[in-house]
Structure 1
Amino acid sequence: MLKKLITIGLFGVFVVSMFIYSGGNNFASADSNKTLTIAHRGASGYAPENTMAAFEKAVDMKSDLFELDVQMSKDGELVVIHDTSVDRTTNGSGMVKDLTLDELQSLDAGSWFGEEFAGEPIPTLGEVLDEYRGKTGILIELKSPSLYPGIEEKVAEELRERNMDKPNNNKIIVQSFDHESVQTFNSILPSVPTGVLVGYSSTGISDEALNEFATYAEYVNPSKSMINVNLVDRIHELGMETHPWTVRDLESAESLLNAGVDGIITDYPDYVNDRK
């Protein structure tokens, strides 16, 4: 009787172990096939773009990553803002490169979006990395890097200082429309995944271009209007992934999910999360 109970017990342990093992594999497989939600300039449909309020909203809405834009102040500090001038998103005027960090951070970068965001400052890249390191993924865009010689090394140093130069699970990605800048960053810090941004072209992306991208980038991120199943397949065949931009309507989110993209850059994280 005792022998029989032991046999039954061992069998039960075996069954449970197999179930857990199988479940673990299924979970990993499902996770690897997940379409990432990437909050564009933070959850910029709900808070002023490229501010801590927008990044916090992105995390609250369970985005997998948020995207931000990096430029450089007159005194060489890395600041998070999209336009090369401060006119559209602050109460100031002038070019980012012509203003010091103190001048930039004295501006109101929130009131234009809503009174409840009055006083939101332009953050530095370091402030964002310190606040969200380990909490979420961050997609860093080098914005107009030709205006800021050496910006690639400065971004790399910010990551090194925080031990973020060897990210787990591609939690840090650096991208740009300036493909030469992407190559430069890749040569400085090859451990950090990089992406090439591609603006809309009626001729699409050639095989020659994709093969070139594959020599220094892990991601090809085109305008959403360029995406179809064929392009996604061609990108995947070269071992790269794609995060198209920028979704601002439900139909676009649905179309990109059906095309099999790996991530979606969106002002409205819930438009993607509600459809995954």
Structure 2
Amino acid sequence: MTYIFAHRGSSKDCPENTMAAFKKAFKDGADGIELDVQLSKDGIPVIIHDEKIDRTTNGKGYVVDNTYDELSQLDAGSWFSKKFNKESIPSLQLFLEWITPLPMLLNIELKNNIVEYNGLEEKVLQLLHHYGMMDRTVISSFNHYSLVKIRRLNNYVQTAPLYSSGLFEPWEYVKAVCSQSAHPNYKSLHPYIMKGFKRNNIPVRPYTVNSQKWMKYFFEWGAEAIITDYPILARELLTAFHHIPRADFFKNSDQTFYNEKEKL
């Protein structure tokens, strides 16, 4: 069974990383939510992707130069559509209060590969512990030093390195950074790479899988999860996958990767 993680929430229907996007993802049938966390000037974990607030709010400047009160007063929805003008940058605490009672998984990406946020790892772990979300959360980052730090602070929560290029034997690299799973760019996952991950029992959750062809490819391989902007589409395809014989399921799809796997 492949889990469906909504990338920054249902970010094709709502402004990314807002409560509207997260609530829509739950409604769309997502199994989990992927989101990005940084620290405000006063050390509050906040949910936003870019290091600067310019693209997704009506403000300007860096996240790190604004207090949480200042960030929470910004309009984080009108850039997407005027009907979302009341959406704001949520704190991680606010989000956890919402998701804790729901039957959903969580992927927190630590956005500290450009701006070094002192104490980000500790603050995130404290909140996860407080809300009892450790066993439902995987922490990922492009900053792999940060993931090693997470493991030193807490050897229970699962971690996963994010990477975009073709690492040599990436399953060995995952072990080297003390992680248990991997979040690669989906285009790097050729059949022989998927086979290596399978052989080493390392779960793979590729990002950002938006085409039907690639969704079907990862469902057939039994990927642990996919991270997608279209959770409702992924849910429909996954439902079809479990009710239609595989030969029929792939009949009208692009066979490139499916055939390559069959040759191994």
- Written as runs of structure 1 = structure 2, the 5 A alignment for 1:181-260 is 181-199=146-164, 201=165, 204-207=166-169, 209-215=170-176, 216-260=178-222
- Written as runs of structure 1 = structure 2, the 5 A alignment for 1:1-276 is 34-135=1-102, 136-145=104-113, 146-165=115-134, 167=135, 171-199=136-164, 201=165, 204-207=166-169, 209-215=170-176, 216-276=178-238
Q: Which letter does structure 2 place at the counterpart of 1:155?
A: V
Query: In structure 1, the residue corresponding to 2:206 is in which secondary structure?
Result: coil
Q: Which letter does structure 2 place at the counterpart of 1:139?
A: N
Post-superposition Cα deviations, 1:111-168, rounded to whole Å, max 9, x if no partner, equal: 1111111120100001101110131111100012552011111111111222333x1x
Q: Which letter does structure 2 place at the counterpart of 1:125?
A: L
Aligned partners of 1:256 and 1:211: how far apart in 2? 21
Tell me if structure 1 keeps the 8 A contact 2:10–2:24. Answer: yes
- Structure 1 or 2, whichever has the larger Rg, is 1
Instruction: After TM superposition, give the deviation of residue 259 of structure 1 in Å.
Output: 3.7
Q: Which consecutive residues of structure 2, in runs of 5 or more, have no partner in the other structure?
A: 239-264
Post-superposition Cα deviations, 1:196-218, rounded to whole Å, max 9, x if no partner, equal: 1111x2xx2212x5323125112
Higher helix proportion:
1
- Residue range with higher mean Cα deviation, 126-135 or 142-151: 142-151
Show structure 1 runs of 4+ deviating over 3 A: none
TM superposition score normalised by structure 1: 0.82
Aligned partners of 1:153 and 1:134: how far apart in 2? 23
Instruction: After TM superposition, give the deviation of residue 98 of structure 1 in Å.
Output: 0.5
Q: Which consecutive residues of structure 1, in runs of 5 or more, have no partner in the other structure?
A: 1-33
Q: Which letter does structure 2 place at the counterpart of 1:74?
A: K
Aligned partners of 1:152 and 1:181: how far apart in 2? 7
Aligned length: 235
TM superposition score normalised by structure 2: 0.85
Residue 245 of structure 2 is matched in structure 1 by: none
Instruction: After TM superposition, give the deviation of residue 89 of structure 1 in Å.
Output: 0.3
Q: Which letter does structure 2 place at the counterpart of 1:193?
A: Q
